[in-house]
Structure 1
Amino acid sequence: MNALMYCLKDKKYSWCYETTPQPRANNRVFFWPRGKVMGGSSSLNAMVYVRGHPYDYDRWEQEGAKGWSYADCLPYFKKAQTHQLGGDDYRGDSGPLYVSRGKWNNPLYHAFVDAGLQAGYQHTEDCNGFKQEGFGHFDMTIKNGVRCNASMAYIHPILSKYKNLKISTNSMATKVIVEGSKAVGVEYKQNDATKYARARKEVILCGGSINSPQLLLLSGIGNADELRKLGIPCAANLPGVGENLQDHLEVYIQYKCSKPVTLYKYQWKFPWNMVTTGLQWFITKSGAASTTHMEAGSFFRSSSKVAHPDIQIHFLPSVVIDHGQKMGTCHAFQGHSGTMRATSRGNLKLKSTNPFDSPLINPNYLQTEQDIVDFRACVRLTTEIFSQKAFDEFREEVLDKNLRLNSNDEIDSFVRSTSETAYHPCGTAKMGSENDKSAVVDSKCRVLGIDKLRVVDASIMPSILSGNLNAPVIMMAEKAADMILGVPPLPK
């Protein structure tokens, strides 16, 4: 059942990380959930399938990630995917990850796209295809009404097929075992017992943008001076480990809705609706519980000077409060609106040598003046879209009375006090050339200075993409798999 966001603050399923206080965001501490289950964060996310813009990948190659241009990556996006609408030049039709479109049964989706066109923006048939820019459908990782996470797509189908696959649950990796300059295994804790897994070929880290750099640092791979202060012997002096942290920040622009067409009716204050919706899903895998409800969205540019879209809106016929932990009090809708390519850079550092201590996470939100200026445009343009005629029959007052547009200071205050993470951390073990002193892995995902060790997850992204990160990470894993196997890359 696609219980959107309900598990984000449940420590059984999420790491429930928190950032350090953010000076440019009223010293707020931001909540950062990350998946603690099979499938990682793809088991908790909003199931929106977005690849980013082709220019993002071409930029990666310019930043030192040789062989990661869009032309190099597109074949692996297609390989990973089976799209509900079938294959074409951009979509796959035989991959393990199922991607579908919503049915757009709610009139608010049509109002959102119509409002975008009325505001002067384009329509796009497929934001993952030839043209990202515009308003239209968002794809979702849902198959027959059920979440299609990385575990369902890749692991469950082969559990009984491969005898050399062993999955150790309730386990915490505590250290990569390095002998000389070679990774030979992993130390881990399972139910309070310390265990070891020896590697016959390679060790591959896929812990994500928080856990992978944390494990590297605990293993003595990182900034030698900082490791020395913690008493950790240095196996490889790589100052870039934990640096270059990037994330998408967003604000929620919320309006009361004049018609009862939102998700407000699907909460326990209306038990009959909840019971019937649940039964419909359990029996037929259809109905309101079979979708993320983020079926429409947009990508557009903040100005004509920008080369490709730098603002994204996820439209939702409901409101999100406290990461989905609180219910709305009326019929309402919202746009999750955020800038796509922040210039601020943060970092991640060890709090202690205890692997079970969460690291110190500092995203440095809004640290640059450019990021502040970009968010002013983001807020103004988003409210302009919601003010269009298409929303006249639905739109009542703005729910957050702090949203005022009379001056830059008022917008800045709104952003500093209400912005939230879009759950897209990346870049903390960046890919780059061997001449780049901030690089952690090379273009084949191999950790520099340590043999037989790779990292394959969002931490190796050189820079953040213009969109959600789940689809790109799965593409990266497909591409890295060929590198690990030593087979030629798919033809461009």
Structure 2
Amino acid sequence: MGIECDYIVVGSGAGGGPLAANLAKAGFRVLLMEAGGDPCAESETGRLMYEVPIFHGASTEYRLCEWDYFVRHYSDDARQAKDSKKVSVAGKDHVWYPRAGALGGCTAHNAMITVLPQESDWDYIARITGDDSWRGEKMRSYFSRIEDCRYVPPPGSTEAAVRGVISTIADEARGDRDWRDASNGHGFGGWLTTSTADPDVALKDPQILVTLLRCLKKALLDDIGDLVTGIATRFDPNDIRTAKESPEGLVVTPLAVRDGHRIGPREYLQQVRAKFPGNLTLMTNALATRILFEGTRAVGVEYIASPHVYGADPERLADPASLPRAEARARREVIVCGGAFNSPQLLMLSGVGPRAELERLGIPVIADLPGVGENLQDRYEVCVVSEFAHDFELRQGGTFAPPEPGQQPDELLTQWQKDGTGVYASNGSLVGIIKKSTPELDDPDLYIFGLPGYFKGYEPGYSANIARYGNRFSWAILKARTRNTGYVRLASTNPWDRPEINFRSFGDGKRPNDPDLDAVLEGVKFARSLNERLAELGVIKREEIPGPACASDDQLRDFIMNEAWGHHASCTNKIGDDYDPMAVLDSRFRVRKTEGLRVVDASVFPKIPGYFIVTAIYMISEKASDVIIEDAR
């Protein structure tokens, strides 16, 4: 029967990685199964792709960790064909959706942005489930627990004392005397280091930077009336006052970077395994093919122990069907953490899902749960790309990719290797803006950030384009809390075949007066207003995307519907109450109509939270650790 343990965790990403480590630390024997390998440990190129923050784009196209999904945004072929990023798969137009098959999951190639969701995102789950442990003020403690903040001084330091006085004065001036301490909700002893980019990097382009900030200040004062997040919070989107008040304004984006290096679940898992070697087994290159049941109780996992089995792997094997399958048994529970695409796929392959869909494919039904694979959600994101009058000096001396074998590292990589500083120690974003698309919203719904490079969205070869042009600047407009609901369905009963994925964006292109579409439109118009100010000052030569041909609101709406993409897939195994027939999970992550089975990953949310989903997943991983340990004891 192979390995036996207390818990089997399937997937090592933001949900499964920290969860497995926490359970092992609590004294349980845990088997963590990851379908990908560990490219960081396999070669120097793999190490650089993982550790150097600026290489996050290139890492999505690094074949040893790259997993390629091809998705639809629309059911209608004519509408889908309008996307300039389209690729043909099996004779139909799709859009490339990069994921990572590696230890750490997509945290091995994400942009490391670590921004908290608003408290209202958690309050919604508390409200629909009746479980007050999900309330925002309680969920905040999970972030404080995992964070090791490097950009706010820890309590007890001289700087913290000074900032405490400043914060108190600022709070009292606003009539808010609910001041806590200088940490303002941050944590300082957790496994997830947060830092901000070195401002000296941006100062290599003082003329452009100063001009950009002046234009931003004027635009924010005209549009919002304030810089809002302000000096008291150091423009920190994770300051507890920011989370509570949900202001708009300029922000400095926190990153999961320690001493210039990417940090994530991979390092946490390795630390725990070194300290508790008998409790944590890391099994890479192990594709889970089926959950094993005795009746309706999950008792183990069937898997294939071989690299390059899954169909999203560009190095995939030609005939996985010939490979032997093994089994691992769990004395307590099986916890599925494969993400919004693969978790519903594994559940359905195992007989947990919509009865009609399972019977169509001849899969015996263990639990009829029609919500499995439904409710697929994502952000909408588009870019406004402009040509600047001059190249960015901060890009000089860099190729923005690891050296080829036998080549010497470029100037910027040499600096990073020396002391973990410079442009390569950042993710490339210069500035961030949080904004409401309409004034009547309770919480801001737009996150707009600028980066010196050419970026129009994800398409094969995009990472080389980012570095190709030295004078392009992209405003990325991200729309939070979208209303799209797509699906993930089985393409076959082969566990290595990628599922069918359709986001049905903007109501499948048919929703009249779409509020999401109008929100993105407002974000694009705001970015354009910034560019108009920069053009008046001679900084910008021309707008390249969407370009002068898109002048009217209707033309911009069409551009957005054609080109919008996402990279935070979620919500396909949603949490809900007992009366919601589409709720796959209860508030303790348990799969309904089964025993010994939970899901902990991006798929659990009923609505997509916040702006950048990884922080929310880290937080639910901590919460799941608590409830699983509590249930075990």
1:287 aligns to 2:427 (yes or no) = no
1:54 and 2:114 correspond: no
- Equivalent runs, 1:166-205 vs 2, <5 Å: 166-191=281-306, 192-205=323-336
**Residue of structure 2 in register with 1:242 after alignment:** 373
Distance apart, 1:174 and its partner CA: 0.6
TM superposition shift of 1:415: 1.4
Cα deviation digits, residues 267-310 of structure 1 (max 9, x gap): 289x9996121222222222221111224211100111211111
Could you tell me how far apart the structure 1 residues matched to 2:421 and 2:185 are? 28
Distance, in Å, in 2 between the alignment partners of 1:112 and 1:487 is: 53
Q: Distance in 2 between matches of 1:277 and 1:457?
A: 36
Match of 1:318 in 2: 453
Structure 1 segment 413-492 matched on structure 2, within 5 A: 413-421=558-566, 423-486=567-630
Is the Cα–Cα contact under 8 Å of residues 302 and 325 in structure 2 kept in the other structure? yes
Per the alignment, residue 192 of structure 2 pairs with 97
- The structure with the larger Rg is 2
Q: Is the 8 Å Cα contact of residues 135 and 298 (structure 1) preserved in structure 2? A: yes
Structure 2 CA distance for partners of 1:114 and 1:202, relative to 1, 3 Å: farther
Q: Aligned in 2, Cα 1:65/1:456: closer, same or farther, shift over 3 Å?
A: farther
Q: Distance in 1 between matches of 2:350 and 2:450?
A: 42
Query: Runs of 5+ in structure 2 lacking a partner?
Result: 1-51, 87-93, 155-182, 230-234, 307-322
1:68: how far off? 1.5
2:345/2:490 contact within 8 Å kept? yes
Alpha-carbon offset, residue 96 of structure 1: 0.5
- Note if 1:381 corresponds to 2:526: yes
Deviates more, 1:85-94 or 1:271-280: 271-280
Which residue, out of 56, 59, 67, partners 1:4? 56
One-letter amino acid of the structure 1 residue matched with residue 482 of structure 2: A
**Does structure 2 conserve the Cα–Cα contact (< 8 Å) formed by 1:431 and 1:439?**
yes
Distance 1:170 1:258, change over 3 A: same
Change (3 A) 1:433 1:201: same
1:472 is paired with a residue of what secondary structure? helix
Q: 1:47 to 1:377 in 2, by over 3 A?
A: same
- Identity between Structure 1 and Structure 2 (%): 29
How far apart, in 2, do the equivalents of 1:410 and 1:52 lie? 32
Residue 114 of structure 1 contacts residue 390 of structure 1 at CA under 8 Å; is this kept in 2? Answer: no
Deviations 1:404-434 (A, max 9, x none): 453222102321333222x111100001112
Contact 1:243 1:428 in 2 (8 A): yes
The structure 2 residue matched to 1:127, chosen from 231, 234, 237, is 237
CA distance in structure 1 between the partners assigned to 2:590 and 2:122 by the alignment: 19
Q: What is the correspondence of 1:14-29 to structure 2 with a 5 Å cutoff?
A: 14-20=66-72, 22=74, 23=76, 24-25=79-80, 26=82, 28=86, 29=94
Structure 2 CA distance for partners of 1:144 and 1:218, relative to 1, 3 Å: same
Contact residue 573 and residue 583 of structure 2 kept, 8 A: yes
5+ residue gaps, structure 1: none
Q: Which moved more, 1:181-190 or 1:115-124?
A: 115-124
How large is the Cα RMSD of the aligned pairs? 2.4
Structure 1: distance between partners of 2:555 and 2:210: 31
> Which moved further from structure 2: 19-28 or 166-175?
19-28
Equivalent residues, number: 486
Q: 1:267 aligns with which of 399, 412, 417?
A: 399
CA distance in 1, matches of 2:373, 2:578: 17
Task: Determine the C-alpha separation between the residues in 2 that align with 1:245 and 1:374.
Answer: 20
Partners of 1:413 and 1:328 lie apart in 2 by 28
Q: Which moved more, 1:468-477 or 1:381-390?
A: 381-390
The residue that corresponds to 1:336 in the other structure is: 476
Deviation at 1:211, TM superposition (A): 1.1
Query: 2:560, 2:626 → 1: CA distance?
Result: 43
Structure 1 residue 212 corresponds to structure 2 residue 329: no
Of 341, 345, 356, 1:225 maps to 356
Change (3 A) 1:96 1:230: same
Tell me the residue number matched to 1:408.
553
SS in 2 for 1:283: helix
Change (3 A) 1:387 1:235: same
Kindly indicate whether the alpha-carbon contact (under 8 Å) linking 1:445 and 1:456 is maintained by their aligned counterparts in 2. Answer: yes
Given that 2:73 and 2:503 are in contact with CA atoms closer than 8 Å, whether structure 1 keeps it comes out as no
Deviation at 1:259, TM superposition (A): 3.1
Distance 2:424 2:624 in 1: 35
| AA at the equivalent of 2:559 | F
Secondary structure of 2:58 counterpart:
coil
Instruction: Write the distance in 2 (CA, Å) between the matches of 1:118 and 1:292.
Output: 26
Deviations 1:215-265 (A, max 9, x none): 111111100111000000111111111011000121111111223326653
Kept in 2, the 8 Å contact 1:434–1:448? The answer is: no
> Residues 340 and 570 of structure 2 are in contact (CA less than 8 Å); yes or no, is this contact kept in structure 1?
yes
Change (3 A) 1:446 1:83: same
Task: Provide the rounded CA distance (Å) in 1 between the counterparts of 2:400 and 2:523.
Answer: 34
Report the Cα distance in structure 1 between the residues aligned to 2:441 and 2:494, rounded to whole angstroms.
45
CA contact (8 A) 1:430 1:440 kept: yes
Name the SS of the counterpart of 1:34 in structure 2. Answer: strand
Q: Distance in 2 between matches of 1:111 and 1:59?
A: 41
Q: Residue 272 of structure 2 aligns to which amino acid in structure 1?
A: I
**Aligned equivalent of 1:82, options 144, 148, 154:** 148
Say if 1:267 and 1:274, in contact at 8 Å, map to a contact too.
no
SS in 2 for 1:187: strand
CA gap of 1:332–1:443, structure 2 versus 1, over 3 A, is same
Q: Determine helix, strand or coil for the equivalent of 2:488.
A: strand
1:64·1:433 contact (CA, 8 Å) conserved in 2? yes
Q: Distance in 2 between matches of 1:416 and 1:218?
A: 33
